[in-house]
Structure 1
């Protein structure tokens, strides 16, 4: 019998957006906006069953390939400093099988009229390393998609 394994990793992603920290924070806080930019591809879907964006609040979502939302994600907000920081924990499961647990920190830093976003995901993946690669790819694609939230609005809105 093999022992259950756990793999630890720290993923750090950085993006620059042509928008103020207030606008970026708003896109991070709004569940409707998150459903637009939060999926890694056009073939994936993200649906929120519960949203409660506040310190201590819990979001519950399902995601995966369109029409096959096999993953359940529970996000608990540990610290929110509007326009500066969001710290949350995230548990990803498939059915009764817990796949990973993460501590996620999103930092927003004003850079002139733009914003530097730094996302740090400290993840413990259970079973194999695929969850870590998937987490990095998913967050990276979602952060790339986030730029579209600001492409149709003036930079000083």
Structure 2
């Protein structure tokens, strides 16, 4: 079987207002026990390898097997962290051991009245057979932000 070599690019912006103090939203990303409580939460994934190193240059790994399905692997490097303001990562995704994409994601935290506005902006490059996966990535990120909202509630 020959793999068609091609690239696709996709980007999206998602914003959510969480009715909690900014520090609470920030800590959900910055503290390992809190991130574990919502990141990939739910019973759809059997957890695998996990690493958490929240500092510039630090690396996160989250791997899990979808029940009756593929193994997903996320490896991120923190490239910029400004406490209570922003987190910037570059990250790679694999599906069943095949490198599917590389992305840059910026996470912004802004206090507005009695809510925290959280903005996730992402730009990704998708490889070969995963070239059309951009909409799925946005959908998966929406799911993560929903899990975060449920955790914060």
TM-score per shorter chain, which class?
0.7 to 0.9
CA distances 1:110-132 after superposition (whole Å, capped 9, x unpaired): 01121001100101011234431
Query: 1:133 aligns to what SS in structure 2?
Result: helix
Q: Distance in 2 between matches of 1:18 and 1:76?
A: 29
CA distances 1:5-40 after superposition (whole Å, capped 9, x unpaired): 111011110101011111100001223322332227
Question: Could you tell me which residue of structure 2 aligns to residue 82 of structure 1?
Answer: 83
Q: Distance in 2 between matches of 1:41 and 1:130?
A: 26
Aligned residues: 151
Return the offset for 1:44.
2.6
Query: 1:118 aligns to what SS in structure 2?
Result: strand
Question: Could you tell me which residue of structure 2 aligns to residue 155 of structure 1?
Answer: none
Question: Could you tell me which residue of structure 2 aligns to residue 142 of structure 1?
Answer: 144
Q: Distance in 1 between matches of 2:97 and 2:146?
A: 31
1:117 equivalent in alignment to 2:118: yes
Cα RMSD for the two superposed structures:
2.2
Q: What 5-or-longer segments of structure 1 have no aligned partner?
A: 152-157
TM-score normalised according to structure 1 size: 0.85
Q: Distance in 2 between matches of 1:66 and 1:149?
A: 23
